[in-house]
Amino acid sequence: MRAWWQDLTDLVLPAECGGCGKPRTVLCPECRAALTGAAPSRVRPEPKPPGLPTVHAAARYADEVRAVLLAHKERGALALAAPLGTALARAVRAGLGSAAPRPALLVPVPSARGAVRARGHDPVRRMALAAAGDLRRGGTPARVAAVLRQCRPVADQSGLDSRQRQRNLAGALSVVPGGGRLLAGATVVLVDDLMTTGASLAEAARAVREAVDAGGTADVPASGKTDAAGVSAVYGRATREGRGRRRPARTTRNRGGSATERSVTRVPVPRGATEGPVAGGRLCAAVVAASPEAFAINRN
């Protein structure tokens, strides 16, 4: 786990550009242009996994963009969450098109708990929070709904081809109890940092569709943790994680006198919202970057 002073140092006194290593800057103009300079594009892997929704990406996964993502994800360069969130927001806007009938719910693809502990933060959720703030500032209502979780261990994806990744991830994700009703009829945007084979996004889409079909309740704790009732998190505004700090949970006591940590936000669910993201709402996906080959869809 990173010490708090390391997080603060990265935010206040960045050592080097996350893309090229230029000193004393979070992200130099050249690397920022590589990340957000081009218009977001629709992307599609080949072969396309079954159930993959329409995906838009902000940039090609190469050179400076690859370095920026790895610096944020693996080296804990937290200050990069803001520019990465801006890039992700641009991809979300491209996926939403001219207008969304309801506020967009950004649903991060979850990392394994062990990976989050090792890194000291959840990079995709952090980028999603930054993207939601960018969307709201631009006039697009957006919230982060961290309702997906890994329900079984998966093998390391590196070295696996598309079919192997699909088998590895099949049935690995689920929506926390209560999340289905929250998502029903909404404009749901699955968000991730990177798309290569599309297996993770396809599995996330399957879990969302099944949860919407099953329905559920809509009490959500703002801490992002699932409580005894099985509900999970919706972030309407930027939390301390989105600004590089952890948000403390509120301590309450149950009838037995034991202390539990829970900070609950009641999220209104529209009456009559019974149709899933395919019928009554929308389901699409957005990523910061995709493999260069995935951009070939635009040449067809």
DSSP state of 139: T
Q: Of 6-10, 43-47, 179-183, give the lowest mean pLDDT range.
A: 6-10
Asked if 266 and 197 count as a contact pair (C-beta separation under 8 A), the reply is: no
* pLDDT given for residue 218 in this prediction: 35
* pLDDT given for residue 242 in this prediction: 53
Q: How large a percentage of the chain has pLDDT more than 90? A: 51
pLDDT tens figures, 188-239: 999 999 999 999 999 999 999 999 988 643 333 333 343 333 334 676 665 5
Given a cut of 70, whether residue 12 has pLDDT beyond it is no
100 located within any domain: yes
C-alpha closest to that of 107 among 180, 164, 58, 46: 180
Given a cut of 90, whether residue 65 has pLDDT beyond it is yes
More confident site: 183 or 247 = 183
- Domain count of the chain? 1
197 located within any domain: yes
18 located within any domain: no
Asked if 204 and 277 count as a contact pair (C-beta separation under 8 A), the reply is: no
Structural domain including 230 reads: 48-155+162-240+260-299
Asked if 160 and 49 count as a contact pair (C-beta separation under 8 A), the reply is: no
35 located within any domain: no
Instruction: Provide mean pLDDT across the span 16-24.
Output: 90
Question: What secondary structure, in 3-state letters, does 62-81 show?
Answer: CHHHHHHHHHHHHCCCHHHH
More confident site: 197 or 275 = 197
* pLDDT given for residue 224 in this prediction: 39
pLDDT tens figures, 70-82: 999 988 899 999 9
C-alpha closest to that of 157 among 141, 168, 148, 149: 168
Asked if 190 and 204 count as a contact pair (C-beta separation under 8 A), the reply is: yes
pLDDT tens figures, 84-142: 999 999 999 999 987 555 789 999 999 878 778 888 889 999 999 999 999 999 999 99
pLDDT tens figures, 134-179: 999 999 999 999 999 988 877 777 777 888 888 878 877 999 998 9
Cα angle for residues 207, 93, 56 (degrees, 5° grid): 60
More confident site: 256 or 92 = 92
More confident site: 276 or 133 = 133
205 located within any domain: yes
13 located within any domain: no
C-alpha closest to that of 72 among 57, 82, 58, 59: 82
Tell me the residue ranges of DSSP E strands in the chain: 41-43, 55-60, 104-108, 142-146, 148-150, 173-175, 187-195, 219-221, 233-235, 251-253, 259-261, 264-266, 282-290
**29 preceded by cis ω (within 30°)?**
no
Asked if 58 and 288 count as a contact pair (C-beta separation under 8 A), the reply is: yes
10 located within any domain: no
Residue indicated by tokens 């006591």: 253
Q: How many CA atoms are closer than 13 Å to the CA of 167, on its beta-carbon side? A: 5
- 156: phi then psi, degrees, rounded to nearest 5: -60, 130
57 located within any domain: yes
